[in-house]
Amino acid sequence: MGANSGLFNRKTLAAAVSTCLLASVGAEVVAQEQQMEEVVVTGIRASLQRSMDVKRDSSGVVDVITAEDIGKFPDTNLAESMQRISGVSISREGGEGSRVTVRGLGAEYNLVTHNGRTVARTTGDRSFNFAEIAAELIAGVAVSKTASADTDSGGMGATIDMRSIRPLAVGEQKAVVSGKYITDSSWAGGNTPEIFALYSNTFADDTIGVSVAFDYQERESSLARAMLDNGWKTFTENNAQNDTHPNVGIYSKPQSARYKFEQDKRERFNGQLVVQWAPTDSIEATLDYDTYERSIYSDRNEVSAWFTYPENSDIATPIQGLWTASNGVATPLLYSETYYSPNIADNLNGNPNDLSMAGGHYAHKFTGDTLGVNVKWAVSDALNLEFDYATSEASDTPDHELGSDVNLSTAAFTRTSTTIDTTGEIFSVINGGGDATANQMRVTGSVFQNNANDSNVDQFKFKGNFELNEESTIDFGVRSTEVTNRRRSVTVQQNGWGGLGVAGEMTAAFEGTDAYVRDRFDGAFSTFADASFLPANGRLKDGTDLTSATPMNHFFDWDLETVQQLARENYDVSNETVGDCPDGTSSVFCSTKDYSLGSDNQTTETTNAIYVQYTYQLEDLEARVGVRHEATDVESTGLNVLYTGANWGADTEISFTGRTQSYVTYKADYSNTLPNIDISYNATEDLVLRSSWSKSIARAAYDEIGADVSVGGNFGRQVGYATGSQGNPSLVPYESNNLDVSIEWYYSDSSYFAASGFSKKISNFIADETVILNGRYADEMPEIHDPFAGTYTQAAVAALGSSATGQELRTYIFDNFDGEPGVTRDTSAGASTFAGDIIGQQADPLVEFRMDTPSNSGDDRELQGLELALQHMFGETGFGMQANYTMVNSDLDYDTSRPSTNQRPLLGVSDSANLVGFYDLNGWNVRMSYNWRDQYLSAYTDSGNQSPIFVDAYFQLDLGISYEVTDNLKVSLDGINITENAITYSARNSDQKFQHDEYGGRWMLGASYSF
């Protein structure tokens, strides 16, 4: 089951069969591949000319980016290059491009292949992270926006194929060595290297070609983030809170304010080997091997204050705010809560709250290997055959002895009030009680987690092209693909959120770690200029004067391993799950790799496909009709955690007992028939008209088709039900009926204008729904009964009244029923009168489980858009430009004026635009790129009181300059996000600021030498 299991045997098999199994490719595809792989004339203009030629000669709507020279892609990142294509926009991680959205459909709806093969990935869904691939190893990228029978299914938005360099296409000895000095301008960015080398040559009269290349990169960057963690909680008019909100429909309040700082270290290695053999003019065999290893270590510190929505029973008039309303949604621009007052007349039951300062890390290593063998055989002038076999593996493993994902929280319980001002670029917070000191800090809750993911892909294809006559050809083929994904996770969590031990025990870990929020941001903070408009001129019940108080700035930038070690020494916390520490001991402050204590799910998806496609070409008209039929089998095995009972063991909480585990397996199958029709017409020598209709699919995420069930180990008695989630192996793919029309005007060399309209009608939409199950959530477990709703509690309520507190009810039950079935009072020294266990009995009502599970909706949705693209060369001056604009409309929009319940929006839909100006002459290559993306929905939940998350409109400027010092030596300077723009997020309107991220910019000074 490991990431490398069986790879040697499959590689050996592939190498052996490559010499005796033959195949070929259709003439059109051959021409496209050769144009992407051959790099003869270099530079920006030559690259754009090759890309335009492929676009013009294609049957469907295709856009291509080709390398400017061997080892020189237009941008330093593949995703950054693809966003120059009309209809393509990207998302970023760590300030660099990672995933691609095409025509409003996110990365999970697009199929990404490498040399036409599916690549193993560990993202959990169907998306591909382009940050794992060095752009220098790629000769070209083709984005096919229309589906065809000879293309693998899965790209409902587009199929994106990356092509490797081919030594026989290079046709000569070629060597390139380059190096870059990378500097990151973020608050803790570093200076790091990147090294690339490639050697390609042909032998035996150009019948054998070999190329070998590698790329090594280090990067140190950082992030400064201000966020309203958990978003804005939404309420309706009749769900009154203790505040002064205007009644305009719905209103929202912040849930927490957090400043978060990450320091990232990334290391990536890519290697590539290509061997080709063409013993005759009719046979060509190619062996590809690609490997990568990418490690990420992200160290995190943060400071936060939670809003608790206190009641008048805690403190008199605890909530104040200055409100505004827009589009039926009310939002406080200033929001204030008071928790404790030194005036005994004001302070009823309130206590100071925690000023939290958490830390943690993200430590993962991503590795992957792909081996492919391809043989093409031109059997005759009319018949071409092709065989292809590939195996691909990827893994995501923990890369730190404390765990892959760690969060350790500390706090000082000093916060008497918290007020937030969201009117500025970055929100400001004033906390009553002032700054925390080192001797006030205490350890609270912690999570030490290990996550591991493995993926294996084995695929085989056989295809052919037969020329019936001068006007007609038939493409045909079969393909089999097996994809196995396994994901495992185990968590060690302790919930000492009220604070472990006493203040002063952790002082040594915090002394000397003082840091300041405002030193790490460049944006402007809110100023509390309107604080005097609050009651009492902005003076709160705890004595804080908002017109003169200093906003929160100080925090402790403490070291994770230091605090973790001291916590281990000071606190022996009992817990159901404990970790295995590096020194061989056990503790809740360590992680474990015993995944049997957590979750373990494996899915195997086998797809067999057959297709046929007929192409008719007569002078200026080409018509293509095809159909592809696929049958898919799904087998999913998951480790389910089951329980046998429920215990009302604490005042507000009911926990499950009798934890057991079992593996369960589910099987499902489905089939799809996918037709396509493409027509292109050369209306004039320079004008091409196209029309395409097709059906395409996108499969559910691997996480969604899992068999595992996850249920929390407890639930609140006042909530009244338990919650959980479960996968659905029976999900069928999204289906889209696509219509494309385009006009392309190639009005001069290397220049063209194109307009494309598209429509996608999507069915089988996948969304979470809540399924209510009574008593059990799996057939393998007994029915569980709710003790709080049971006969003992009913007797207590009858005696004490419905207003009795949980403690009073429990005391009554122990006083009257101790020793009865399920009732055991805690009689240990110092135990309270309400301490003990109350176990649900057979006569008690069943526990209600509300399980979130993905399902196929019966609703059909539509996506429509228009793409405009212009490429123009200004004669022989060396100057040129590219521009494109994409408009996307959808009936899948999110309605911000109503709660989230029963909304099914599509994520990532937005307009986008790009403008690139360049100069390419006399050894100079200069490019300035402007990229803009409009606001889009990034996330939402199906809970009525949670806010959506929108990524606000964003633009970025990138710069690339290179100069050929000699025929062999080139120097370059590249800048990414040279204006250092921040990425911002909002909720229901622009007043509800959600997140502000500053990544800074990145500069790369490089030199390359080729011979």
Q: 266-298: per-residue pLDDT in tens?
A: 999 999 999 999 999 999 999 999 999 999 999
Is 568 inside a domain boundary?
A: no
Average pLDDT over residues 541-569: 95
**Contact of 374 with 453, CB cutoff 8 Å:** no
Q: What CATH number is given to the structural domain containing 114?
A: 2.170.130.10
Q: Residue 728: which of 709, 756, 751, 754 has the closest Cα?
A: 709
Average pLDDT over residues 441-454: 95
- Which pLDDT score is estimated for 312? 65
Q: Residue 408: which of 354, 355, 356, 359 has the closest Cα?
A: 359
Please count the structural domains in the chain: 2
Is 758 inside a domain boundary?
A: no
670: tokens are 């489905």
**Contact of 636 with 706, CB cutoff 8 Å:** yes
Average pLDDT over residues 827-845: 87
Average pLDDT over residues 451-471: 96
Mean pLDDT: which of 39-43, 429-433, 765-769, 853-857 is highest?
429-433
Say if residue 8's pLDDT is above 50: no
- Which pLDDT score is estimated for 24? 28
Q: Whole-angstrom Cα distance, residue 926 to residue 914?
A: 17
Is 371 inside a domain boundary?
A: no
309, burial (CB in 10 Å: exposed 0-12, middle 13-18, buried 19+): middle
Residue 102 DSSP symbol? E
**Contact of 82 with 65, CB cutoff 8 Å:** yes
Is 695 inside a domain boundary?
A: no
Q: 630-670: per-residue pLDDT in tens?
A: 999 999 999 988 899 999 987 778 999 988 888 999 999 99
**Contact of 47 with 75, CB cutoff 8 Å:** no
User: CA geometry: angle at 931 spanning 1004 and 93, to 5°?
Assistant: 60
Is 326 inside a domain boundary?
A: no
**Contact of 1010 with 175, CB cutoff 8 Å:** yes
- Ranking 403-412, 472-481, 714-723 by mean pLDDT, the lowest is 714-723
Average pLDDT over residues 794-815: 91
Better pLDDT: 10 or 514: 514
**Number of Cβ atoms within 10 Å of the Cβ of 34:** 13
CA distances to 30, 289, 376, 378, 474 from 27, rounded to whole Å, are 5, 25, 12, 11, 11
- Ranking 379-393, 430-444, 793-807 by mean pLDDT, the lowest is 793-807
- Ranking 708-712, 870-874, 896-900 by mean pLDDT, the lowest is 896-900
Q: Whole-angstrom Cα distance, residue 674 to residue 147?
A: 9
- Which pLDDT score is estimated for 628? 98
Residue 218 binned pLDDT confidence (cut-offs 50, 70, 90): very high
- Ranking 116-125, 503-512, 678-687 by mean pLDDT, the lowest is 116-125
Q: 948-989: per-residue pLDDT in tens?
A: 999 999 999 999 999 999 999 999 999 999 999 999 999 999
3-state secondary structure (DSSP) of residue 769: strand
- Which pLDDT score is estimated for 28? 38
Q: What percent of the chain has pLDDT over 90?
A: 69
**Contact of 254 with 335, CB cutoff 8 Å:** yes
Please state whether beta strands 329-338 and 250-254 pair in parallel, antiparallel, or not at all (unpaired).
parallel
Number of H helices, E strands in the chain: 9, 53
- Ranking 76-90, 150-164, 420-434 by mean pLDDT, the lowest is 76-90
- Which pLDDT score is estimated for 231? 86
**Number of Cβ atoms within 10 Å of the Cβ of 98:** 22
Task: For tokens 């300062």, name the residue.
Answer: 357
Q: Whole-angstrom Cα distance, residue 868 to residue 885?
A: 5
CA distances to 408, 415, 515 from 552, rounded to whole Å, are 21, 11, 12
- Which pLDDT score is estimated for 42? 61
- Which pLDDT score is estimated for 868? 96
User: CA geometry: angle at 858 spanning 852 and 859, to 5°?
Assistant: 105
Strands (E), 660-765: 660-682, 687-698, 709-711, 714-716, 722-726, 734-748, 751-763
Single out the residue in 146, 169, 192 at which a domain terminates.
169
Task: For tokens 């999913």, name the residue.
Answer: 636
Please state whether beta strands 983-986 and 645-650 pair in parallel, antiparallel, or not at all (unpaired).
unpaired
Which domain, by its residues, includes 61? Answer: 44-169
293: tokens are 């290893």
Single out the residue in 169, 190, 220 at which a domain terminates.
169
Q: 68-107: per-residue pLDDT in tens?
A: 777 777 777 888 888 888 888 888 887 788 899 999 888 9
Residue 20 binned pLDDT confidence (cut-offs 50, 70, 90): very low
**Contact of 550 with 435, CB cutoff 8 Å:** no
Residue 247 binned pLDDT confidence (cut-offs 50, 70, 90): confident
- Which pLDDT score is estimated for 551? 97
19: tokens are 């010499």
| 590: Cα separation from own chain's centroid | 27
Reading phi first (left if > 0) and then psi (alpha if -120 to 50, else beta), residue 795 is in alpha
Letter string b/e over residues 982-1006, b meaning 16 or more CB atoms within 10 A of that residue's CB: bbbbbbbbebbbbbbbbbbbbbbeb
Reading phi first (left if > 0) and then psi (alpha if -120 to 50, else beta), residue 74 is in alpha
Is 784 inside a domain boundary?
A: no
- Which pLDDT score is estimated for 317? 67
Please state whether beta strands 250-254 and 232-236 pair in parallel, antiparallel, or not at all (unpaired).
antiparallel
Say if residue 905's pLDDT is above 90: no
| 857: Cα separation from own chain's centroid | 23
Provide DSSP, 631-668.
EEEEEEEEEEEE-SEEEEEETTEEEEES-EEEEEEEEE
Q: Whole-angstrom Cα distance, residue 144 to residue 152?
A: 11
Say if residue 939's pLDDT is above 90: no
Q: Residue 480: which of 621, 351, 631, 367 has the closest Cα?
A: 631
List phi, psi (to 5°) of 958. Answer: -125, 150
Q: 472-513: per-residue pLDDT in tens?
A: 999 999 999 999 999 999 999 998 888 998 999 999 999 999
Q: Whole-angstrom Cα distance, residue 820 to residue 839?
A: 10
Half-sphere exposure of 151 (CA within 13 A, CB side): 30
Please state whether beta strands 969-976 and 954-964 pair in parallel, antiparallel, or not at all (unpaired).
antiparallel
Is 295 inside a domain boundary?
A: no
46: tokens are 């030559």
Residue 38 binned pLDDT confidence (cut-offs 50, 70, 90): very low
> For helices 791-800 and 806-817, what crossing angle results, to 10°?
110
Single out the residue in 169, 195, 214 at which a domain terminates.
169
Q: Whole-angstrom Cα distance, residue 506 to residue 209?
A: 64
- Which pLDDT score is estimated for 239? 56
Q: 560-595: per-residue pLDDT in tens?
A: 999 999 999 999 888 878 999 999 999 999 999 999
Q: Residue 5: which of 393, 272, 396 has the closest Cα?
A: 393
Provide the whole-model pTM. 0.89
Residue 41 binned pLDDT confidence (cut-offs 50, 70, 90): very low
Task: For tokens 């591991």, name the residue.
Answer: 452
Mean pLDDT: which of 92-106, 258-272, 350-364, 530-544 is highest?
258-272
Provide DSSP, 136-197.
GGEEEEEEE-S--TTS-S--SS-EEEEEE--HHHH-S-EEEEEEEEEEE-STT--EEEEEEE
- Which pLDDT score is estimated for 347? 57
List phi, psi (to 5°) of 251. Answer: -140, 160
Better pLDDT: 907 or 259: 259
SS3 readout for 53-88: HHHHHCCCCEEEEECCECCECCCCCHHHHHCCCCCE
Please state whether beta strands 586-587 and 645-650 pair in parallel, antiparallel, or not at all (unpaired).
unpaired
Residue 16 binned pLDDT confidence (cut-offs 50, 70, 90): very low
Q: Whole-angstrom Cα distance, residue 403 to residue 113?
A: 32
- How many Å from the N-terminal Cα to the C-terminal Cα in the chain? 45
Residue 900 binned pLDDT confidence (cut-offs 50, 70, 90): low
**Contact of 738 with 693, CB cutoff 8 Å:** yes
**Contact of 496 with 434, CB cutoff 8 Å:** no
Is 630 inside a domain boundary?
A: no
Q: What percent of the chain has pLDDT over 70?
A: 93
Output the furthest CA–CA distance in the chain (Å, rounded). 100
Say if residue 372's pLDDT is above 60: yes
Q: Residue 457: which of 785, 959, 7 has the closest Cα?
A: 7
Could you tell me which residues are beta bridge partners of residue 1004?
182, 974
Q: Whole-angstrom Cα distance, residue 112 to residue 135?
A: 15
- Which pLDDT score is estimated for 30? 39
Could you tell me which residues are beta bridge partners of residue 330?
251, 325
Say if residue 15's pLDDT is above 60: no
**Contact of 69 with 178, CB cutoff 8 Å:** no
- Which pLDDT score is estimated for 600? 93
139: tokens are 């000769």
Say if residue 837's pLDDT is above 80: yes
Say if residue 162's pLDDT is above 70: yes
451: tokens are 């996550």
**Number of Cβ atoms within 10 Å of the Cβ of 239:** 11
Say if residue 228's pLDDT is above 70: yes
Q: Whole-angstrom Cα distance, residue 447 to residue 497?
A: 12
Better pLDDT: 3 or 599: 599
Q: 746-773: per-residue pLDDT in tens?
A: 999 889 999 999 999 999 988 888 889 9
